[in-house]
Amino acid sequence: MTMLAIFFIFVFFCFPSLSLSLPLDITIEAGRFQQLDLGGLVGPESIAFDPVGQGPYTGVSDGRILKWQGAAHGWTEFAVTSPHRTEECNGHNKPWLEDTCGRPLGLQFNEATGDLYIADAYYGLFVVGPTGGLATQLASGAQGVPFRFTNGLDIDQATGIVYFTDASMIYPRRDNTWVTISGDRTGRLLKYNPRSKELTLLLKGLVYPNGVAISKDSTFLLIVETTTQRILRFWLQGPKVGALEFFAQLSGYPDNIKRNPRGEFWVAITPSSINSVIGMCFNEKGEITEVLNDKFGMITSHLSEVEENNGSLWLGSVVAPDVGIYKL
């Protein structure tokens, strides 16, 4: 019996409401998998497409946000966050330069304005217009405490409000392993209103809050806690507004979470204790609908994000030298 089968037996008995139907198994196969090489750069942590479907866009190790211009032109520079960049920044993969060069993590476009919002691990929350360039810093801290590890980000497309996480008040991104090892519980969830320019602290005391995603109807947020290997639900509207509750337990250390066109949520898992599972998709009830399986070893680097777009899964990684694409 495989570890995957054991997991679903465990789910069936311990969480019967999550096991009404078996999830679809998506196994990555060579014939449907390709990679967009980053030309010596690494770490395409998060992936985004602009309102007209161009991209993907991704942030990489040297602090730049790149845009894919197709096979003929490849990757081009779209934006940067740090105003302190030097020549030494270009092409680097050196963690000790990140607080000089910037390190963009979470990315998301406002579909109405075409603006790209960026969570930079060292500099905070940024926005850049549709033509790119040097991004504008919107927030560098909250309640007098600087951001140390700005991480995941999502946007309520109905209101333009930006939700994002600060994974730790103690450790920066380059010391991310210590956030887990220490059991750090200083993570925060925040929101930024572009119209009023108001920053609001929504939650504190979170355990390595990583990715964040808003539901299709804007009634709740899902927050990934990496250390606890779980997903939490924070209610934005309705009778439970302001409440934080358990949503799902995962089989390994999760990273980003992204909503797909059907209103479900893809979570990247790295590494997984269940054989070769590198991603799981959940519906709004917390039921597993799809499992991304790498039993043939096509993915050699830890997965950080699964973005479903235009009939493909676009795969990000904080350490890989490429963006993966798996055609569904």
pLDDT in tens, 185-233: 999 999 999 999 999 999 999 999 999 999 999 999 999 999 999 999 9
Token representation of residue 305:
């994000």
**For residue 7, is pLDDT > 80?**
no
Determine the Cα–Cα distance for residues 165 and 206; give it in Å rounded to an integer. Answer: 10
pLDDT at 183 over 80: yes
List the one residue out of 101, 99, 98 whose CA is nearest residue 87: 101
Find the mean pLDDT for residues 27-55. 96
Average pLDDT score over residue span 28-33: 94
Q: Give the number of other CB atoms < 10 A from CB of residue 233.
A: 20
Q: Does the structure show a pLDDT above 90 at 128? A: yes
Instruction: Please check the confidence at residue 257 and state whether its pLDDT lies above 80.
Output: yes
Mean pLDDT for 52-59 is: 97
**Is pLDDT above 80 for 17?**
no
- Site of tokens 């059907």: 262
- What residue type is assigned to position 147 of the chain? F
The pLDDT assigned to 162 comes to: 98
* Least confident span in 157-161, 164-168, 230-234, 273-277: 273-277
All residues at 6 or more sequence positions from 32 whose CB lies less than 8 Å from its CB, including other chains: 326, 327
pLDDT number for residue 19: 44
Q: What domains appear along the chain, each with residue ranges and CATH number?
A: 3-327 (2.120.10.30)
pLDDT tens track for 88-119: 999 999 999 999 999 999 999 999 999 999 99
User: What is the full DSSP assignment across 259-323?
Assistant: E-TTS-EEEEEEEESSTTEEEEEE-TTS-EEEEEE-TT----S---EEEEETTEEEEE-SS-SEE
Least trusted range by pLDDT, from 65-74, 256-265, 273-282: 273-282
Categorise residue 101: left if φ over 0, alpha if ψ from -120 to 50, beta otherwise: alpha
Angle subtended at Cα 297 by Cα 296 and Cα 300, rounded to the nearest 5 degrees: 165
**Residue 13: which residues within 8 A CB-CB, separation 6 or more?**
none
Does residue 127 contact residue 116 with C-beta atoms inside 8 Å?
A: yes
> Which two structure tokens, joined as six digits, stand for 214?
């808003």
Angstrom distance (rounded) from CA 2 to CA 275: 7
Q: Place 301 in a pLDDT band, splitting at 50, 70 and 90.
A: confident
The model's pTM: 0.92
Contacting residues for 59 by C-beta, under 8 A, at least 6 apart: 43, 44, 45, 46, 65, 66, 103, 104, 105, 107, 118
